[in-house]
Structure 1
Amino acid sequence: MREIGLIAAAFCTAILATPAFAADLTGTATVIDGDTLEVHGQRIRLHGIDSPESAQLCQDAAGKDWRCGQQAALALSDRIARRPVSCEVKDTDRYGRSVAACSVAGESLNAWMVSQGWAMAYRQYSTDYVGAEATARAARAGIWAGTFQPPWEWRTAKRNGDKPQAANQSRPAPAAAPSAAPSSGCQIKGNINSKGERIYHVPGGRFYDQTQIDTGSGERWFCSEDEARSAGWRRSER
């Protein structure tokens, strides 16, 4: 009996020590900005994406300033309309907001905002939307049509009391140069395609030579196929 009591006590202690996240949320949403919602009075930060701040300006293809932060929020509001939003809570941030992947009628709002060029993939916290960002950038959609300062840099400048860069001085961060294989024994290329799919290519494969690896975008090299599969990549079909 004493052993059972000790096990029960340890189990309760483990539960209390586990961080408590808010329950998943479903309901009518109010859009706060391009990456923040409010459902049932609970603020929700969209996981893995970063949208221009409400007061932030970008520059369009003609060189004219426009309120990209405001337009991002309006785009999200229009996409949701009056439909109920379902949010899968993944974490709680330092401001007490739930961090979640949200959807409407089965469509990911996080992915949609990035794919339409209204937000960037927030690589510091997730690489889930790197593929969607590549699609938006290639199409020059939303903020990618011109120039802008990444939202996290804009916030840092504001916090430090610096004047945020003028739109005509800002440039999207260039893609990192292709990364060389770390060693002769690690030749398998883990690539993330435009759909966000993680696919690995082995030497001799049809697309092996033309595939470039950008480790800054979450891509990587593998030393074996088992390692690649264990990390969640699948082998190229060609």
Structure 2
Amino acid sequence: MRRLIVMVLGLSLAAPALAAEAVVKDGDTLQLGDKVFRLEGVDAPELDQRCVNQFADPSACGLEARDALVKLIGGRSVTCRDLGPDPVFKGRRLGTCAIAGETDSLSRRLVQDGFALNAAASGKDRFAGDETKAKDERKGLWQGCFVAPNDFRRWDKDAPLRGAACREDKHSELIEAMFPDQPAMLPGCTIKGKLARRARITGNVGVYQLRGCPSYASLTKPNRWFCSEDDARAAGYRKAYNCRIKLTP
């Protein structure tokens, strides 16, 4: 993963200003020290999400969204306000962040550039106009074909297709590209995730397997690939019961 130095000028209203090395984990998530912040009000593709580009070729849009955030920050200082625990992604915080000296938040900038969708919070569609403009101008994801990140997380093959390159006569091929039976592993992201109804008993959406666990090799059709156990847990996956020892993926 790419690293950059981000000056954090206030992680919460009460917290003092501090400097921290930050990691852009995905298109809408930043790690600052021991805290992981998800940008509030938006939803960007998951790191392992797949889309189709304007040339009808499969694309790693999750990586493209991450790289867009890295480029947007460009090593400049960022101000973040801690909004408290993320109600959706376990172990993460919600943050309102902006490049120092700029009035627009990173959330708005990502939507304007077409690499994130407006995610209404408490009934507020603050970035809906920005999303419509990005769609009309075919920016970022909108020049290709994709499903909303939430639909990808739910592995919903009936989800509506979005983008200028979506074709009804190619619907089956597009869905197959976005939800492959055997998704390719991302470099360095060896943890397999599988959606599982039994996991809902413990409030999760699926289970994950680490390399070296008894069932790792037999899980030939994972839905997701994760780079760390923290990422897997944040997405709502729990470690498989036959994989309880601490392993390094």
Same fold (TM over 0.5): yes
Deviations 1:53-73 (A, max 9, x none): 111111112211111110110
The amino acid of 1:102's aligned partner reads C
Contact 1:25/1:39, CA 8 A, preserved across alignment: no
Alignment equivalent of 1:142, drawn from 124, 140, 143: 140
SS in 1 for 2:83: strand
Question: Which protein is bigger by CA-based radius of gyration?
Answer: 1
Contact 1:24/1:88, CA 8 A, preserved across alignment: no
Match of 2:234 in 1: none
Residue 30 in 1 paired to residue 23 in 2? yes
Match of 1:68 in 2: 61
Contact 1:54/1:69, CA 8 A, preserved across alignment: yes
CA RMSD between the two structures: 2.6
Residue 104 in 1 paired to residue 102 in 2? no
- Specify whether residues 26 and 78 from structure 1 end up closer, same or farther in structure 2 by C-alpha distance, changes over 3 A only: farther
- Specify whether residues 65 and 26 from structure 1 end up closer, same or farther in structure 2 by C-alpha distance, changes over 3 A only: farther
Counterpart CA distance in 2 for 1:25 and 1:117 is 31
- Specify whether residues 21 and 142 from structure 1 end up closer, same or farther in structure 2 by C-alpha distance, changes over 3 A only: same
Match of 2:161 in 1: 171
Match of 1:85 in 2: 78
Contact 2:13/2:81, CA 8 A, preserved across alignment: no
SS in 1 for 2:154: helix
- Specify whether residues 22 and 54 from structure 1 end up closer, same or farther in structure 2 by C-alpha distance, changes over 3 A only: farther
Counterpart CA distance in 1 for 2:132 and 2:18 is 30
Deviations 1:84-103 (A, max 9, x none): 22111223114132101101
Match of 1:182 in 2: none
Counterpart CA distance in 1 for 2:40 and 2:28 is 8
Match of 2:44 in 1: 51
Match of 2:213 in 1: none
TM-score normalised per structure 2 = 0.53
**Could you tell me how far 1:124 is from its partner in structure 2?**
4.9
Deviations 1:159-178 (A, max 9, x none): xxxxx649xx96129xxxxx
- Specify whether residues 101 and 85 from structure 1 end up closer, same or farther in structure 2 by C-alpha distance, changes over 3 A only: same
Question: Which sections of structure 1, spanning at least 5 residues, go unmatched?
Answer: 1-19, 158-163, 174-238
The amino acid of 2:142's aligned partner reads W
Contact 2:78/2:98, CA 8 A, preserved across alignment: yes
Question: Which residues in structure 2 correspond to 1:214-225 (within 5 Å)?
Answer: none
Counterpart CA distance in 1 for 2:78 and 2:16 is 11
TM-score normalised per structure 1 = 0.55
Question: Which sections of structure 2, spanning at least 5 residues, go unmatched?
Answer: 1-11, 164-249
Deviations 1:107-130 (A, max 9, x none): 321111110000000125541211
**Could you tell me how far 1:135 is from its partner in structure 2?**
1.4
Counterpart CA distance in 2 for 1:91 and 1:141 is 31
Counterpart CA distance in 2 for 1:97 and 1:133 is 25
* Higher relative helix content: 1
